[in-house]
Structure 1
C-alpha cells in the first residue's frame, strides 16, 4: 500500500518536478517530520523566500510526515530523479555518503557552538559535497540538537544501566556501534514504526533529541529521559544532482541563498522548541535525568581507536577536534 501511495504521489507531480511550465519550476521536497517541527517550518519559510527571490519562477512543494516514504526511501528517490529534495538525519545519510558518518561519533563536539563552527566551515562544506558522486548534493545542515536516551522501565544513569536494554537506533552502523559500546542492544527501526514498537515492547527505549521525543509523543510511553547528550547529529538538506543540474546558475544561486536563510531561522526555532519540549514532557510526568556524561564518553573511547588506521575518517576526526571558535 505504501509503495502504491508513493507511486501515485510521484506520478501526480511528475511533470511538476524541476520542469518548466510557463517559466515556473517546482521543486518537490519530501521529508519525515511533522508539520509542527522547526525544520518543516524553516522549509516553509525557505519556499516563501525562494518564490520571492525568483520572482515566482521557482516554487517549493513540500511533502511532510513520510508521505513519500522513509528517509532512506527519499534518498533513493533523489538518486533516480523521482524526487528533487529531502531532509535526512546524517545518521541515515552515512549509508549513502560514507564520510558523513564522522558526525555520528559520540561526544565528538565540545558543545553546540563547536558543532556550528564545524558545520558552517570548510569541513561542513566538504561533507556536504561528499554525496555528489552518489547523485546527492548537500545544501546545508539544520540543527537537530543532542540525542539522549529515553526508556520505559528504568532510567539510564550510567552505561551499565543499558545492559539488556533493546534501544531503537537509526539505520546507522555508527549508532549501532555506539549503543553496543555502551552495553545496550541496538535495534534499527524506522522512525514511523517506533511508537508502535515501544507500545508492543519490541524495544525498551530509544535515543533522540527533546523536540523529537515530544512531538512523536513517545513520552506517553517512555517516562525516563536521560540527558547524556551522546551525539550532536545534524539534519542534512539535500537535492538530487539530477534536479540540481537542471537549474540554471541563477536559480542555483537563489536556492542556495534561501537555504542559508532557512538554516539561520531554523536554529532560532530549534532553541525555542528544545526548551518547550523539555517543559512539556516534564509536565506530562517524564523524569528528566542528567547523568555524568564523562562515564558515557569514557565507555566509547574504543570507537575512536578503531578509526586510527582509517585514512579518510581519522584525519576528519582530528580536524573537527582541533577546530577553533570562529571568533578567535
Structure 2
C-alpha cells in the first residue's frame, strides 16, 4: 500500500510540474520592438544584442524581436503604440517626445549641451533620472540612454564658419518650430521636409543644405550632392531604450533586473559603435571629396540663440532652472 501511495503521489507531482511548465510557457512574453534604423546601424546592432541577451538570460520567459526600418509605423505612432502596450519596447529619439512629455522639448534647444560626453554625464545622472521618471508617468520605462551624435550643417555652396555664411541658404530642418527658429536666427531659410525627400532636393537645387550627423550624411548619400560639411554641432539629442510600462509590470522582479541590466549593456554597446560608425562615415565622405571644417567660434552662433531661449523659457515655466542645471554639469 505504501508503495502504491508513493507512486500515486509521484504521478500527481509529475502532472503538476508539467501543468506548471505549460502555464509558464503559455505566459512567455514574445516582445515586439520598434526601431527606425536599418540593419547594421549602431542602434540596430545594440538592440539585436539586447533582444538576444534577454531571451537567453530569462530562458525564453521574455523573447524580444526587433523590427527595423520603422516597419511598424513612424516614430510618433510607435510612441503611442508603446505607451498603450501594443508594442513592448523601442528606441526613441527625444525630439518627437515633446507632445507626450513636455519637458523633453528642452533637448531641442540649440547648443544645450557642451558636447556629447557632457550629454552622457547629464543623462546618466540625477537629471536623466528625472526625465526617466517623467516618461514612466506616461507609460514608458527607460532602461538606458542612447547616443545620436551631434548634428551639423552641410550644404552645396560654401563652408560655414560664421553665422553670416548661413545667410540665404535654403536648409532642411526637422519639423519642429524650434529648429525653424534656429535656422532663421542664423539667417537661413528653414525648410521643414521629409527626410526621404532631401537627396533629390539637394541635387535639384530645391535645397542648398540640411543638417545631420556623419552616419546619416553618409548612409543617405547626401554627401554626393553636398560637398561642404561644417561642424556646427548645434544639436545633441539623446535617445532612450524604453519598455512599455504595461509589459514591464508583467515581469517578475528577477526578470525586470535582467532586462534593465541588458538595457544598460545595450547603451554601452551603442555608444561605442556610434563612435566607430561616425569615424568610418567621416572617412568615407572625406574620401569622396567632401570638405569638412571645424567651426572655431561657436559663441557667435550661440549668441543668436538667446532670443529662442528667452521665448522658450517664457512659454515653459520652470525650464529656466532646468537649463541652468544641465549647463552646470561638467
State the TM-score, normalized to the length of structure 1.
0.85
Within 1, Cα distance between the matches of 2:310 and 2:228? 31
Within 1, Cα distance between the matches of 2:26 and 2:197? 41
- Per the alignment, residue 51 of structure 2 pairs with 47
- Per the alignment, residue 300 of structure 2 pairs with 295
1:255 aligned to 244, 255, 259, which one? 259
Within 1, Cα distance between the matches of 2:185 and 2:179? 10
- Per the alignment, residue 87 of structure 1 pairs with 91
SS at match of 2:72: coil
Give matches, 1:280-291, under 5 Å. Answer: 280-291=284-295
- Per the alignment, residue 319 of structure 1 pairs with 325
Give matches, 1:1-328, under 5 Å. Answer: 22-291=26-295, 292-309=297-314, 310-324=316-330
Q: Report the count of equivalent residues.
A: 306
Normalized per residue, the structure richer in helix is 2
List runs of 5+ in structure 1 lacking aligned partners: 1-19
SS at match of 2:182: helix
Q: Is the radius of gyration larger for structure 1 or structure 2?
A: 2
CA RMSD of aligned residues (A): 2.2
**How much does 1:82 deviate?**
2.3
Structure 1 pair 239/202, CA: closer, same or farther in 2 (3 Å)?
farther
Counterpart contact for 2:136–2:245, Cα < 8 Å: yes
State the TM-score, normalized to the length of structure 2.
0.85
Counterpart contact for 1:37–1:215, Cα < 8 Å: no
Q: Which moved more, 1:234-243 or 1:284-293?
A: 234-243
Within 1, Cα distance between the matches of 2:238 and 2:119? 9
